[in-house]
A and B are shown apart, each in its own frame.
Chain A
Amino acid sequence: GENVEQHPSTLSVQEGDSAVIKCTYSDSASNYFPWYKQELGKRPQLIIDIRSNVGEKKDQRIAVTLNKTAKHFSLHITETQPEDSAVYFCAASRGNTGFQKLVFGTGTRLLVSP
């Protein structure tokens, strides 16, 4: 089955710096890669996703890149703000099987210091 590895496990940056979180996956049939943000004690919330027919996607300060050949994808956050502090999870699934059996990474705790 699919295995998703994520690193780093923790990331501390100064406000205004960029943050990069990287994930690798094992199943070459995976074609859908979402990123979720989870604040302490709260629900995971989708912040951006990318499908395998696209190499990069941007949404304001957030971008995701996908390298299908290498089977890795990354989340980039620019101009970080204290409210970006949270745990970020990457995930992968074979979306075209009819449902999203997401396999999640182990998470990255991002701390943005003012």
Chain B
Amino acid sequence: GAGVSQTPSNKVTEKGKYVELRCDPISGHTALYWYRQSLGQGPEFLIYFQGTGAADDSGLPNDRFFAVRPEGSVSTLKIQRTERGDSAVYLCASSRSAGGTGELFFGEGSRLTVL
């Protein structure tokens, strides 16, 4: 596609439920990132993939959060036993290469609300 695509755009769930958020990066982009943006804050790094492997997952807040990218393209962020504090916009971004010179292209985000 022309840009980074994220689904769903909005997700409302109840505390304790399981959620999956999907990211489809720009075709040909090898690097994929997940960020989380809380209201009134800047995006916070969660995890980075180079190809299929998670090269850095140091931003994941705890073991309820997990992400995969099995074929090196689409990625899924998985959140178990959701808590109200997980409510935020989850942004996915991709870049052409892993190098530090590549522009990050963000998706529109998935807004997660945990009731």
Binding site for B on A (CB under 8 A): 4, 6, 31-32, 34, 36, 42-46, 49, 51, 89, 91, 93-107
Q: Within 8 Å CB of B44, what residues of A?
A: 104
Q: Within 8 Å CB of B108, what residues of A?
A: 42-43
Taken together as a complex, chains A and B put the C-alpha atoms of A14 and B47 apart, in Å, by 40
Taken together as a complex, chains A and B put the C-alpha atoms of A44 and B104 apart, in Å, by 9
Q: How many A-B residue contacts, CB cutoff 8 Å?
A: 72
Taken together as a complex, chains A and B put the C-alpha atoms of A93 and B42 apart, in Å, by 14
Binding site for A on B (CB under 8 A): 4, 31, 33, 35, 40-45, 48, 50, 55-56, 59, 91, 95, 98-104, 106-109
- A93:B106 contact, CB within 8 angstroms: no
Contact of B43 among A44, A49, A95 (CB under 8 A): A44
Contact of A49 among B31, B103, B106, B109 (CB under 8 A): B103
Taken together as a complex, chains A and B put the C-alpha atoms of A45 and B91 apart, in Å, by 12
Q: Within 8 Å CB of A103, what residues of B?
A: 45
Contact of A46 among B35, B41, B100, B103 (CB under 8 A): B103
Interface SS of B by simple majority: loop
Shortest A97–chain B CB gap in Å is 7
- B42:A95 contact, CB within 8 angstroms: no
Shortest B109–chain A CB gap in Å is 7
Which B-chain residue is minimally distant from A96 (CB atoms)?
Answer: B100
- B55:A89 contact, CB within 8 angstroms: no
- A46:B104 contact, CB within 8 angstroms: yes
Contact of B100 among A32, A89, A104 (CB under 8 A): A32
In the complex where A43-B106, A44-B91 touch, is A95 in contact with B99 (Cβ < 8 A)? yes
Q: Within 8 Å CB of A101, what residues of B?
A: 45, 48, 56, 59
- A102:B45 contact, CB within 8 angstroms: yes
Tell me which of A44, A102, A105 has the highest count of chain B C-beta atoms within 10 A of its own C-beta: A44
- B91:A98 contact, CB within 8 angstroms: no
- A106:B48 contact, CB within 8 angstroms: no
